[in-house]
Amino acid sequence: MVVRDTSIGTQAGLAVLSNRWYALILQNLDSDYQDFMTLREQVRGISTFKLLIALSNLTNLSLVDSTQDYQYRLTLDGQAFQNELNQLENWGNRQLHQTGEVRLPHRNS
């Protein structure tokens, strides 16, 4: 079997992973509702507007659930994705521990 491109599912997952704000947001949420301003304080460096847009996008992807009064939590899919992020972090930490460095590929690789 010759594979010439990654699957659509892989591309969708990588699109979420490649957005640094999505990963930070997903890492700072859990299954309990959290107030927007609390989340805003935890995710540093993102503007309020960009955070709202990112949360809206994550909600549309069914990774985050929201209420009308700006409370947010992870959905079951969001919890599963967060688990995958944790696995990636663990892998990266093992690489760092084993080699003393993490070799990051160039973006165009």
Q: Per the domain annotation, does 105 fall within a domain?
A: no
DSSP for 29-69, written as a single string:
--SS-EEHHHHHHHSTT--HHHHHHHHHHHHHTTSEEE-TT
Cα–Cα distance measured from residue 98 to residue 6, given in angstroms and rounded to the nearest whole number: 29
Q: What pTM, to 2 d.p., does this model score?
A: 0.82
Q: Per the domain annotation, does 37 fall within a domain?
A: yes
Q: Per the domain annotation, does 3 fall within a domain?
A: no
- Per-residue pLDDT tens digits for 6-44: 888 888 888 888 898 999 999 999 999 999 999 999 999
Q: Per the domain annotation, does 15 fall within a domain?
A: no
* Pair 34, 72: CB distance under 8 Å: yes
Structural domain harbouring 55: 26-99
Q: Per the domain annotation, does 109 fall within a domain?
A: no
- Per-residue pLDDT tens digits for 82-106: 999 999 999 888 888 888 776 666 5
Total domain count for the chain?
1
Q: Per the domain annotation, does 106 fall within a domain?
A: no
